[in-house]
Amino acid sequence: MTEREERRFAEVPRESIKLMAESSGVELSEEVAALLAEDVCYRLREATQNSSQFMRHAKRRKLSVEDLNRALRWSNTETICGYGAQDALPFRPLKEGELFFVEDREINLVELALATNIPKGCAETMVRVHVSYLDGKGNLEPQGTVPTAVQSLSEDLLKYYQQITRAILGEDPHLMKVALLDLQSNSKIAALLPYFVYVISGVKSVSHDLDQLNRLLHMVKSLVQNPYLYLGSYVRSLVSSVMYCILEPLAASINPLNDHWTLRDYAALLLSHIFWTHGDLVSGLYHQILLSLQKVLSDPVRPLCSHYGAVVGLHALGWKAVERVLYPHLPAYWANLQAVLDDYSVSNAQVKADGHKVYGAILVAVERLLKMKALSLTLAAEGSGAGLPAGCPWEEWTPVSLPAMYCELYSFFGDSLAVRFSTGLPLGGQNSVHIMMITFCCFVLRAFLTGGLFLSRVCRSLARSSSSSVSRSRSSSSRPGRSTSQSRDIFPKARFPLPQAGPPAFSFIIGGRQMGRRCQGRRFQTSFSPTPPLTTHPPRAYAHKLPVIGRVSKPVRRWTCSHYSLHLPL
Amino acid sequence: MAAVQDAPMELDAEKETKPEILSDGTSNLSGNTASGTLSSPPLTAGGAPKQEDQQTLIAVLQFLRRNKLTESVEILRREACLEDQEDSQTLDGSGGGKGDGDGGDANSLLSRVSIASAAAPQIISSTSMYDQPDVSVVLSAYSQQGDPSLYQVYYSSLKNFIESVLDCHRAELSQLFYPLFVHMYLELVYNNHENKAKAFFEKFSGDQECYYQDDLRILCGLTKKEHLKGNEALLDFRTSRFVLRISRDSYQLLKRHLQERHNNQIWNIIQEHLYIDIFDGMPRSKSQIDSMSGSFAGETRREVNKAKVFYGLLKEPEIEVPLDDEDDEAENEEGKPKKKKTKKDSMGSKSKKQDPNAPQQNRIPLPELKDSDKLDKIMYMKESTKRIRLGPENLPSICFYSFLNAYQGLTAVDFTDDSSLLAGGFADSTVRVWSATPKKLRKVKSAAELNLIDKESDDVLERIMDEKTASESKNLYGHSGPVYGVSFSPDRNYLLSSSEDGTVRLWSLQTFTCLVGYKGHNYPVWDTHFSPFGYYFVSGGHDRVARLWATDHYQPLRIFAGHLADVTCTRFHPNSNYVVTGSTDRTIRLWDVLNGNCVRFFTGHKGPIHSLAFSPNGKFLASGSTDGRVLLWDIGHGLMIGELKGHTDTIYALKFSRDGEILASGSMDNTVRLWDSMKAFDDMETDDFTAATGHIHLPDNSQELLLGMYHSKSTPVTHLHFTRRNLLLAAGAYNSQ
């Protein structure tokens, strides 16, 4: 036993034999134990050798307990029971006794018997055939890339569909995540697309349940992101479902405690994503969306939350949409909003809070409009940006000059309108734009006090001193890469590093009433709002799908590093 | 794996009697003991029992007598008409005093006997069979021994000598290392020099060739005499003589050295336990030796592969084929082409002139062709006219049949020849049959319902089927252990399955029920295969014998004994006159169905053989093993003619294309590889000299011969099949882990 390292096989030491004998009440002498140990080793090896033959004939690579049992049975030895489990059995040491043992937990049979989740049997063994190699060349991979809506569903697809929908709409958030990920990457579910679209169109029936709505939206997102799916005309159906979430006065909004705002924000983002990536699949989609948004906005009978949705939706579709729909409509709308905001009666408190939401949303949209317009003018002036993209079909519309626009907007918002320009960026012709940050911050603070909290990065330093909850939210939500450097002259930026060269960016964070119950809404948001998968897609997969309309020489990636990010504080 | 307790007793008997005794059966003993006396209607017995058969019988009688099986003794005597002969034989034996006269003791004679029954038919003068053939006796050969402490000295002095000789001799003499090492080690173990044995092993095990690793692994655990008794593999090693082929010059060199040094210990071992096949001429090179060695029992003796093998194909029966212009639809509708304006078959012309290498048409009786068989032949010929001509420029398309949700349980697959049915054997003891065409599987109606059918109607064959039972697959339940082999009958009416439970079962594909359970192996049956003409089938198993059966006999017609370890793989020759078996002892044997003799013995694999395939013309054989190599053999000359390297894991499937131009191999490494078999066969040199000496030079041209490698997605390839139009079908279980 001296050249232990020379040996290439396992040994059972004498001590183990003695211990085992003791455990069954036999006292062994050293000699007997040594002899026994050696014999046991030999028998074990013999059994292993024999069992490997069963493994080879079963055409497996892994030796199973069953193989060993067969070998034992054929050599007239008792078989070992209780080790047939598929999972590995944990082998544990016991420090005091230098003992190693397989953990053998007690099973509560009563519990097992009464359990409701009865395990299903294994799936039926089946044979599937496919041509792997044609004429000895190449692999015929493509399966499910062609739209196969007409083909009947095979049984396993049906099972998949059931499993996925159950997981997404079920209780388990982990399961949902897995299901969504698979939906996002599975290449063989083309046949199921109509079914999923149908499920999603069920948003109308669950408008009382924010949770379910959210899940359905996530499902939309996964489908949209799946590079193997050709959505085709289903885009229209998906868009209408998403629009429903953005615009409709959901049953869930009746209760002010429900944070339907976040849902609308998310849906708006999703809408813009669908539009950017699949907008070319349906002609006139852009037009239709704008029309319906405009209709909602111009309908004073609609509740404020619908208006909010329309504004957010326009904002998500880009500054041009804002310029074309929101801006011309603003004078008319402003009067209504002003009336709501100026009513200080108690009965109006809720409506007024909603009004502030809309106000905030308009402000954000308008501010961005100004900034982007200024930028585009600069680019046009320099002649480097290849001019303005002339993708929009609304040719009859004549653009308003920037100063005029600013003047008009200023008349509405007054000092609330604050546009920041980087000192570093050469933005000619912007001198007329005043920088009035303080008023903006005041607005923010006001919004915060009235329940809908708008926190801009700019005002964080201000808010930190006054509200501990705000600073908490900031510390957990500060995201490198998002912060902007535009305010460096006025506000301390020590906490927000990374000056990022690039177009002026603005990011803000919405905190809602659910600040108190932070865990619930957030969990959702963290797992899905900043999903990277889009970047993992091969760019060319989308290249042809990029819409020409309203495209501002930005890559599709804007989904992930959006200039405008609706992000729930962590 | 055999019972440790009672194995020794049986084992030895098994050696002499061909292991029929392994089965409990007094009944089994009655007719089937010796191949010559087989009485089976379809096979005419091959002449009067020879001398050696009588010896065997006597040995059996003694065994029975010792075990107090008096009834069996009586039956055997009566059946073999042995009364008188036996007595005279006994007298003869004792009178001659053979045991002492030969200089060797009874044991060496015994070992020779076992060789005789195992390796080749060898005429032995009447041996002293009345000696108690007992394990202790067999082993006692080891009792005469030198000083155990000197073993290391002996071995290392020989090692020094071999390393000092000329290069050309060194390679040849190096072959001695392994058998000597094993025998010396066993001798030490047998004589209870445990520590010396361990030291000996430690010191010299590293010198052995890498392909003996598996054996060494078994050996290294074996340190006690008691262990030796239970280990069949080593008993085999002991009783069969390891065969070496050495040139005369090298042998002389060795002999001189040993005599000079008085190294008697080694000389004794060489004399008693090795068989040195001396040839004249140039010593072989290391690569030549390596290509042929690796088996459990050494190389092939030259004379073993000299027997004539009728490897040609049988003449195709002349079938009247309907004219080509008759459209297929019309024929299909009627089921039978009754209005056939016939012409002579064009395909048959090839087989009209008798192949000189073909066996006589009635060498073994074959079943008569039924009408349905003729129809099938016609279909076959029609299909073959549409066959794609394959070649290096024109590779086949591959269809993969993936078994899903098989949970690592798929153990065997077979396709029917027309690729219409697919059978899978599973570890959960079930056999499943799938229809590979849109046509569903239907059972025949029950007897009561069959009575109601109008038997005169034209579509009676259609009416007997029960439409209610139509389904894509059918499960066959009956085995009580994993199913390791499945094989369809050529007429697609039957399916065979062999299982760990020791039985081979015959299933009807009309009723999807079990018809017969063939018992006889009593140990796991690893493989089974139908004859290309139906009726016969062969099976091989853990009991180390292959058995030939006829479907209407519940006992085997032939027992092919000789492998030193499990028979892992069995195949019928295309002309049905021969059976080939591959074994865990790393050898391949070709058996003559007519007389049960082993006519070819191929060594060269370095691992257990798991796949075999005959070329369609019957001339060549391909074999694949766990070492990932495919070896090609010329059956007529009894030579290895090619080595195809490339696979990285066990090869479980081999198949030649319908015209034999392409060899497809499927392996555990999830690949299918296609090889240019035409080129491999053309390249070989089969001049008379090579054929005479058996010294082959293998060109290392695997890369040139490899035409393509095709990966599956985590699916080991279990079975390969070429359709009649040369589309390659592969099958395996998808492995999700």
Query: What is the total count of domains within chain A?
Result: 2
Residues A98 and A226 in one domain: no
Residues A100 and A245 in one domain: no
Residue contact A60–B408, C-beta within 8 A: yes
User: What confidence score (pLDDT) does residue B527 get?
Assistant: 95
Residue contact A129–B202, C-beta within 8 A: no
Within 10 A of B86 (CB to CB), how many other CB atoms are there? Answer: 17
Map tokens 């209504």 to a residue. Answer: A336
CA angle A110, A116, A117 (to 5 degrees): 110
Give me the sheet containing A508-511, strands edge to edge.
Answer: A453-456, A508-511, A566-567
The overall pTM is greater than 0.90: no
Q: Is residue A253 part of a domain?
A: yes
* CATH code of A37's domain: 1.10.20.10
- How close, in Å, is residue A47 to chain B by CA atoms? 8
- The two tokens of residue B370 are 């039924």
Span B516-572, pLDDT tens digits: 999 999 899 999 999 999 899 999 999 999 999 999 999 999 999 989 889 999 999
- Residue A46 near chain B (CB below 8 Å): yes
Which residues have CB under 8 Å from A228's CB, separation 6+?
Answer: A144, A145, A186, A187, A188, A189, A190
User: What confidence score (pLDDT) does residue A204 get?
Assistant: 78
Residue that is last in its domain, among B248, B283, B305: B305
E strands, B341-464, where? 342-343, 398-404, 410-415, 421-426, 431-435, 441-444
- Residue A38 near chain B (CB below 8 Å): yes
CA distance B577 to B309: 9
Q: Is residue B709 part of a domain?
A: yes
Chain A residues touching B3 at Cβ < 8 A: 75-76
10 Å CB burial of residue A532 (0-12, 13-18, 19+) is exposed
Cα separation values, A251 from A204, A245, A525, B22, Å:
10, 11, 21, 82
- The two tokens of residue A101 are 């043992």
Residues A438 and A334 in one domain: yes
Q: Is residue A303 part of a domain?
A: yes
Q: pLDDT at residue A15 above 70?
A: yes
Q: Is residue A127 part of a domain?
A: no
Residue contact B482–A54, C-beta within 8 A: yes
User: What confidence score (pLDDT) does residue B430 get?
Assistant: 92
Q: Which residue of B has its CA nearest to A62?
A: B408
Lowest mean pLDDT among B138-152, B484-498, B546-560: B138-152
Amino acid at B286: K
Lowest mean pLDDT among A4-18, B180-194, B505-519, B602-616: A4-18
Q: Which residue of B has its CA nearest to A57?
A: B484
Residue contact B526–A42, C-beta within 8 A: no
Residues A281 and A373 in one domain: yes
Cα torsion B152, B564, B136, B14 to 10°: value is: -170
Q: Is residue A204 part of a domain?
A: yes
Chain B residues touching A66 at Cβ < 8 A: 427
Residues A420 and A287 in one domain: yes
- φ, ψ of residue A35 in degrees (nearest 5): -60, -45
Q: Is residue A286 part of a domain?
A: yes
CA distance A452 to A445: 10
| Cβ pairs A/B, distance under 8 A | 145
Residues A85 and A229 in one domain: no
The pLDDT confidence band at residue A512, using thresholds 50, 70 and 90, is very low
* CATH code of B444's domain: 2.130.10.10
A199-203: long-range pairs with CB below 8 Å, 24+: A199/A165, A200/A237, A200/A238, A200/A241, A201/A237, A201/A240, A201/A241, A203/A241, A203/A244, A203/A245
Q: For an interface test with A, which of B1, B395, B473, B497 has the most A Cβ atoms less than 10 Å from its Cβ?
A: B1
* CATH code of A214's domain: 1.25.40.770
Chain A residues touching B421 at Cβ < 8 A: none
The pLDDT confidence band at residue A381, using thresholds 50, 70 and 90, is low
With both helix axes pointing from N to C terminus, report the angle between B51-66 and B70-80 in degrees, rounded to the nearest 10.
Answer: 160
- Please list the helix, strand and coil fractions of chain B in percent, rounded to the nearest 5, in that order: 35, 25, 40
- Residue A66 near chain B (CB below 8 Å): yes
CA distance B26 to B656: 43
Instruction: Tell me if residue A88 falls in helix, strand or coil.
Output: coil
Residue contact B221–A76, C-beta within 8 A: no
Candidate from B394, B401, B668 with C-beta closest to A129:
B401
Candidate from A50, A56, A127 with C-beta closest to B422:
A127
- How close, in Å, is residue A60 to chain B by CA atoms? 7
User: Residue A569: which region, alpha, beta or left (left: phi > 0; alpha: psi -120 to 50)?
Assistant: beta
> Which ipTM score applies to this complex?
0.77
Residue that is last in its domain, among B259, B288, B305: B305
Q: Is residue B152 part of a domain?
A: yes
Candidate from A41, A76, A131 with C-beta closest to B399:
A131
Q: Is residue B35 part of a domain?
A: no
- Residue A135 near chain B (CB below 8 Å): yes
CB contact at 8 A, B194 and B223: yes
* Structural domain harbouring A290: 196-379+402-424+434-446
Residue contact B396–A50, C-beta within 8 A: no
Strand B651-656, strand A453-456: pairing: unpaired
User: What confidence score (pLDDT) does residue A534 get?
Assistant: 39
User: What confidence score (pLDDT) does residue B14 get?
Assistant: 39
Residue contact B481–A45, C-beta within 8 A: no
Cα separation values, A102 from A77, A88, A90, A92, A319, Å:
22, 10, 6, 6, 65
Residues B286 and B412 in one domain: no
* Structural domain harbouring B216: 145-305
- How close, in Å, is residue A39 to chain B by CA atoms? 8
Residue that is last in its domain, among B286, B305, B324: B305
- φ, ψ of residue B612 in degrees (nearest 5): -140, 145
Chain A residues touching B542 at Cβ < 8 A: 53, 74
**Helix or strand run (H / E) with residue B560:** strand B558-561
Candidate from B202, B404, B731 with C-beta closest to A125:
B404
Span B261-283, pLDDT tens digits: 777 778 888 888 888 888 888 88
Q: Is residue B528 part of a domain?
A: yes
CA distance A401 to A406: 9
| DSSP state letters, B565-629 | S-EEEEEE-TTSSEEEEEETTSEEEEEETTT--EEEEEE--SS-EEEEEE-TTSSEEEEEETTS-
Span B72-113, pLDDT tens digits: 777 777 777 655 444 444 434 333 333 333 333 444 434 443
- How close, in Å, is residue A51 to chain B by CA atoms? 9
Residues A331 and A442 in one domain: yes
- The two tokens of residue B275 are 């068989």
Residues A104 and A204 in one domain: no
Q: Is residue A474 part of a domain?
A: no
Dmax (CA) for chain B in angstroms is 92
Map tokens 């070989």 to a residue. Answer: B684
Chain A residues touching B482 at Cβ < 8 A: 54, 57-58
Residue contact B398–A133, C-beta within 8 A: yes
Span B574-586, pLDDT tens digits: 999 999 999 998 9
Q: Is residue B504 part of a domain?
A: yes
Residue contact A127–B523, C-beta within 8 A: no
Which residues have CB under 8 Å from A423's CB, separation 6+?
Answer: A488, A489
Cα separation values, B309 from A485, A549, B404, B681, Å:
91, 81, 43, 18
Buried-exposed string A278-294: b where 16+ CB fall within 10 A, e elsewhere: bbbbbeebbeebbebbb
User: Residue B179: which region, alpha, beta or left (left: phi > 0; alpha: psi -120 to 50)?
Assistant: alpha
Residue contact A128–B221, C-beta within 8 A: no
Candidate from A56, A75, A137 with C-beta closest to B650:
A56
- How close, in Å, is residue A183 to chain B by CA atoms? 19
Span A285-311, pLDDT tens digits: 888 888 888 888 888 888 888 888 888
Q: Is residue B607 part of a domain?
A: yes
Q: Is residue B118 part of a domain?
A: no
What is the average pLDDT across A360-381?
81
- How close, in Å, is residue B601 to chain A by CA atoms? 23
Chain A residues touching B676 at Cβ < 8 A: none
Cα distance between the two ends of chain A: 62
Round the average pLDDT of chain A to a whole number and report it: 67
CA distance B123 to A405: 116
Amino acid at B523: Y
Candidate from B1, B402, B411 with C-beta closest to A59:
B411
Residues A80 and A200 in one domain: no
Round the average pLDDT of chain B to a whole number and report it: 77
Residue contact B202–A3, C-beta within 8 A: yes
The pLDDT confidence band at residue A382, using thresholds 50, 70 and 90, is low
Q: pLDDT at residue A533 above 50?
A: no
Beta partners for A567? A509
Beta partners for A209? none
Residue contact A128–B404, C-beta within 8 A: yes
Chain B residues touching A120 at Cβ < 8 A: none
Map tokens 């008319």 to a residue. Answer: A332
Within 10 A of A418 (CB to CB), how many other CB atoms are there? Answer: 22
Q: Is residue A517 part of a domain?
A: no
Chain B residues touching A126 at Cβ < 8 A: 403-405, 473
Q: Which residue of B has its CA nearest to A60?
A: B408
* CATH code of B193's domain: 1.25.40.500
Share of chain B above pLDDT 70, in %: 77
- What sign does the CA torsion over A110, A116, A117, A123 have? positive
- The two tokens of residue B553 are 């006999």
Residue contact B674–A42, C-beta within 8 A: no
Q: Is residue A300 part of a domain?
A: yes
SS (H, E, C) A143-188: CCCCCCCCCCCCHHHHHHHHHHHHHHHCCCHHHHHHHHHHHHHCCC
Residues A69 and A203 in one domain: no
Cα separation values, A52 from A67, B214, B563, B648, B714, Å:
7, 12, 19, 18, 21
Query: What is the total count of domains within chain B?
Result: 2
- Please list the helix, strand and coil fractions of chain A in percent, rounded to the nearest 5, in that order: 55, 5, 40
Residues B298 and B410 in one domain: no
CA distance A387 to A368: 19
- Residue A6 near chain B (CB below 8 Å): yes
- How close, in Å, is residue B29 to chain A by CA atoms? 23
- How close, in Å, is residue B123 to chain A by CA atoms? 35
Residues B301 and B402 in one domain: no
Residues A249 and A367 in one domain: yes
Q: Which residue of B has its CA nearest to A59?
A: B411
Residues A224 and A326 in one domain: yes
Instruction: Tell me if residue A517 falls in helix, strand or coil.
Output: coil
